[in-house]
Structure 1
Amino acid sequence: MPDPSKSFSTRSDAAYCLKAALVGLLVGALATGFHTGLEFLFAQYAALRAALGTGLLPYAVSAAISALCVTGAFLLVQRVAPEAAGSGIQEIEGAMEDKRPLRPASVLVAKFFGGLLALGSGLVLGREGPTIHMGSMAAEAVSRSRPLSPDDHKGLLAAGAAAGLAAAFNAPLAAILFIVEETRRQFPFGFRTYMAVIIASILSAAVTEELTGIGPPLLVEVSYVPVWSFALLAVLGIFLGGLGVFFNRALITVMDLFLKIPSGLRWLPALAVGAATGILLNAFPDATGGGEDLVHGLIASKYGVLALLLMTVLRFSGVLFSYASGVPGGIFAPMLSIATCAGLAFGVAAVGLLPIEDDFRAACAVAAMGGFFAASVRAPMVGVVLVMELTGAYALIMPVLVTCTTASLTAHHLGGRPIYEELLERTLRLAGEKADAGPDKTPVQLGTRDG
């Protein structure tokens, strides 16, 4: 006799996997629309700046447009869904711990249109933050079609987040590993939930690739590097470990600094950051934008060490102030561009001082992407796989492993903590303070699933 309970379990697994597939398809389409909108805005904004010619006029117009866009994005987020500010990854982790609200309709509106305004203005933020958060909210909307157990619900939220990352970078394997490493405290590991993450990631990346026709977005051709140079890459990892710890602390510090501004005037940093971005779009365009299109040009260029260090400082500062301004946007892509600048500076210096091939410059850039990510996010395997999928430089898997490992170990010994863990704790602390300051002193129920 067949076991009825087993048959029910099989049907239940199939229904759950179908939900995950639907999430993957929806997120892929949503991310494609978001990316297409951004590309249109980038092209139109660039054409406008070119049409204005030279002189002070393009600076003034760009400063005004970017300032208005960033301020508009800030006000939209504050009025529609304050939790849509930033990347949203910490919000997803908080929701999986039943400590943050789930308002899919509000977040999708604020994240999509606020993200278009903020990223289209040229801020140093990545498109992956909005797609990850929107992906999770799309999964939340799908989960409400039929009641799910708490574990299945959390699994579907994670599947949506993975689908958003897979669509942003066309990197489904890195997206799957991101859930494994980053949400290890919150993710309810099980056959169904793990399969849901895999299915959603594959389908989301497939939809995005089919609709946009892109392959590895940061394709880099690098030949084999000698084994003895691994010692240099380990030294690079040590530097990146310290830089990652400093980045995390600086980001929290700038966010807390902006928080000291009276609540009625907190749109002023957004206005100022937007205006500065508009000026840089004309004066030094490489210091603006998420940096997704910057890596190729940097590796092919012959910038010297000082120019690369200057660009590292500008992009480093840019992402701190852009993220702290309170608009939607991610830090993954800016981190990759910062690491590319820093890694190239190290590689250029090494090639100039040591008997090593010029290809070592590019190898340092690729390895630095993974190392800086590992030091800040503290997910070294995600860093390795993400870089491999983005660049296609699979011959460099050993050098990237060396750099990621030393960077992660250095960050750990320096007392650094994962950036999203710090951001979540900060969010929960501020939410608690806001609840305590309420007129009736009644704690806010953060884990509700309201519309």
Structure 2
Amino acid sequence: MPILMAVTVGVGAGAGLAGMCLGLLLHYIQHVAYDYSMHRLLSTQSFMQGVTASTPQRRVEVLLGCGVVAGLGWWALYRFAKPLVSVNKVLKSDDPRTPMVATMINALLQIITVGLGSPLGREGAPREAGAALAGWLSHRIGLSSQESRIMVACGAGAGLAAVYNVPLSGTLFTLEVLLGTFATAAAIPALLTSVIAATVAWIGLGNDAQYTVPMFQLSDSLLAWAIVIGPIFGFAAYGFSRLVDAARRQAPRDWRLLPSCLLAFGLIGLAAVFYPQLLGNGKGPIQLGFNDGVSLQLAAILLVLKLLAMLLCLRAGAGGGLLTPGMSLGAMLAIVAGGLWNHAFGDAPLGAYAIVGAAAFLAASMRMPLTAIVMAVELTRVDHDYLFPVVFAVAGSSAALRICVRRFDTTHEPSMVVHKE
């Protein structure tokens, strides 16, 4: 027991340091690439503000550079390093370890490309790094296979907790998504590692909420909308996961990576000339949506462009997470649906719809209803009353996803970022 406790503390601290370093590296690359807030890594100026203030020519040039880094980087990784192994596959193995060097290079490539403007997410990198460190430490200490699997899952959840400052969400992600159990033997280390990782990451990333939201008043109209719209988000998330799987299956892993990445990121750079909100993992549009800063027309445009950009990158062979990008799709879809609802039934703020829609889409697309509910609260720190529309919408989207899987899938399981990174 003392040895297992020591490993738990070590995994939490290691995942926290990894998440902190990767987060700071991301900010540094963003600031250098788009030349904003150069005097400090954590500033009041957001990435979206920096990108919007940059020239259209700079956006195109940076995205072309991103294509070169992505194409050459992942080609070299597949050509010379050990094969990458996803966290989910490792958890089913008798030797739950990921290749350390290859995993860390893959994590760095994800952070660098997201920092340069890739529309994919950053959360995959700290998750993979935390899992790799946990596997290495568990092996060195000599834990059993079962104990090592728990530690690897805890390392992945702790990495998520560190980069987003969401310790409870990291805990639930470990238990609900990776391990599929809430047994005490898994729950205690999952909670400890996530709390330790988030606390350690405060050293460099601070203890701030990821999103700031105004005070919203809960209304009957919003509650009714959440009940009605939940299943629609589940169907949309199912379709999204199928598109993601298809794009990843067709992605090249040879010399074609460079031209395909150059083409994909070049097109995204051209689109960013007119819509700079397209660049990055989607945090900027989400924040705008939460603050009623996105019109129905802009939300519809960003919804389509963001989806196409993500699929282009995945089809080209680039790597990255889909947690925040998925939330951005949910938020934009909710603004469109909520605006139409307001015309007929209510007058709730569009930002309120965005919060509920982001949680509902996230829950279904990543098949983690409990984690999505808690994450919506931890990321925004909204009022307790918002749990009601969020829970109704998440329940509806998760139920709709389950119907889709049973009706249309016999061997396929929607993967999203969790199963096939």
Q: Give the TM-score category using the shorter length.
A: 0.7 to 0.9
The question of 1:389 aligning with 2:378 is answered yes
**Counterpart position of 2:66:** 66
CA distance 1:179–1:384, change in 2 (3 Å)? same
Deviation of 1:257 after TM superposition, in Å, equals 3.2
The question of 1:217 aligning with 2:206 is answered no
**Counterpart position of 2:177:** 182
SS of residue paired to 1:293:
helix
The question of 1:40 aligning with 2:28 is answered yes
Distance 1:22 1:396 in 2: 36
Deviation of 1:423 after TM superposition, in Å, equals 7.7
After superposition, residues 266-281 of structure 1 pair within 5 angstroms as 266-281=257-272
Deviation of 1:213 after TM superposition, in Å, equals 1.4
The question of 1:366 aligning with 2:355 is answered yes
The question of 1:252 aligning with 2:245 is answered yes
Distance 1:79 1:31 in 2: 27
Residue number among 267, 276, 291 corresponding to 2:282 in the alignment: 291
Deviation of 1:301 after TM superposition, in Å, equals 4.3
Distance 1:385 1:242 in 2: 22
Q: Which amino acid aligns with 2:206?
A: G
The question of 1:130 aligning with 2:130 is answered no
| Residue pair 2:154, 2:190 contacting (<8 A) in 1 also | yes
CA distance 1:104–1:341, change in 2 (3 Å)? same
| Residue pair 2:103, 2:132 contacting (<8 A) in 1 also | yes
CA distance 1:413–1:203, change in 2 (3 Å)? same
Deviation of 1:156 after TM superposition, in Å, equals 0.6
**Counterpart position of 1:406:** 396
The question of 1:195 aligning with 2:188 is answered yes
CA distance 1:53–1:230, change in 2 (3 Å)? closer
Deviation of 1:53 after TM superposition, in Å, equals 7.4
Deviation of 1:22 after TM superposition, in Å, equals 0.9
Deviation of 1:343 after TM superposition, in Å, equals 1.0
| Residue pair 1:121, 1:277 contacting (<8 A) in 2 also | no
CA distance 1:302–1:293, change in 2 (3 Å)? closer
Deviation of 1:123 after TM superposition, in Å, equals 0.9
| Residue pair 1:305, 1:345 contacting (<8 A) in 2 also | yes
| Residue pair 2:96, 2:149 contacting (<8 A) in 1 also | no
**Counterpart position of 1:25:** 13
SS of residue paired to 1:269:
helix
| Residue pair 2:51, 2:59 contacting (<8 A) in 1 also | no
CA-atom RMSD, angstroms? 2.8
The question of 1:139 aligning with 2:129 is answered no
Distance 1:279 1:100 in 2: 45
Distance 1:283 1:51 in 2: 10
Residue number among 234, 237, 241 corresponding to 2:234 in the alignment: 241
Deviation of 1:231 after TM superposition, in Å, equals 2.2
CA distance 1:145–1:250, change in 2 (3 Å)? same
Q: TM-score, normalised by structure 2?
A: 0.87
CA distance 1:198–1:402, change in 2 (3 Å)? same
* Bigger shift: residues 232-241 or 27-36: 232-241
Distance 1:221 1:171 in 2: 20
Q: Which amino acid aligns with 2:286?
A: V
Q: Which amino acid aligns with 1:33?
A: C
Residue number among 320, 324, 338 corresponding to 1:329 in the alignment: 320
Distance 1:168 1:22 in 2: 17
Q: TM-score, normalised by structure 1?
A: 0.81
Distance 1:353 1:23 in 2: 52
**Counterpart position of 2:156:** 161
The question of 1:379 aligning with 2:394 is answered no
| Residue pair 1:376, 1:418 contacting (<8 A) in 2 also | no
Deviation of 1:15 after TM superposition, in Å, equals 1.8
Distance 1:299 1:149 in 2: 46
CA distance 1:283–1:422, change in 2 (3 Å)? closer
Distance 1:53 1:143 in 2: 46
Give CA deviations for 1:378-411 in whole Å, capped at 9, x if unaligned: 2111111111110111330010000000011111
Distance 1:379 1:60 in 2: 36
Q: Which has the larger radius of gyration?
A: 1
Deviation of 1:228 after TM superposition, in Å, equals 4.9
CA distance 1:63–1:296, change in 2 (3 Å)? closer
Residue number among 313, 319, 325 corresponding to 2:310 in the alignment: 319
Count residues with an aligned counterpart.
402
Deviation of 1:229 after TM superposition, in Å, equals 3.4
Give CA deviations for 1:161-214 in whole Å, capped at 9, x if unaligned: 1111101211111111112221245x6x65443321111100001111232213
Distance 1:422 1:131 in 2: 13
Distance 1:66 1:422 in 2: 21
* Bigger shift: residues 320-329 or 285-294: 320-329
Give CA deviations for 1:324-380 in whole Å, capped at 9, x if unaligned: 4333311001011111111112222222333424x3x22211111111012112211
Deviation of 1:63 after TM superposition, in Å, equals 4.3
Distance 1:372 1:340 in 2: 8
Deviation of 1:254 after TM superposition, in Å, equals 1.9
| Residue pair 2:13, 2:197 contacting (<8 A) in 1 also | yes
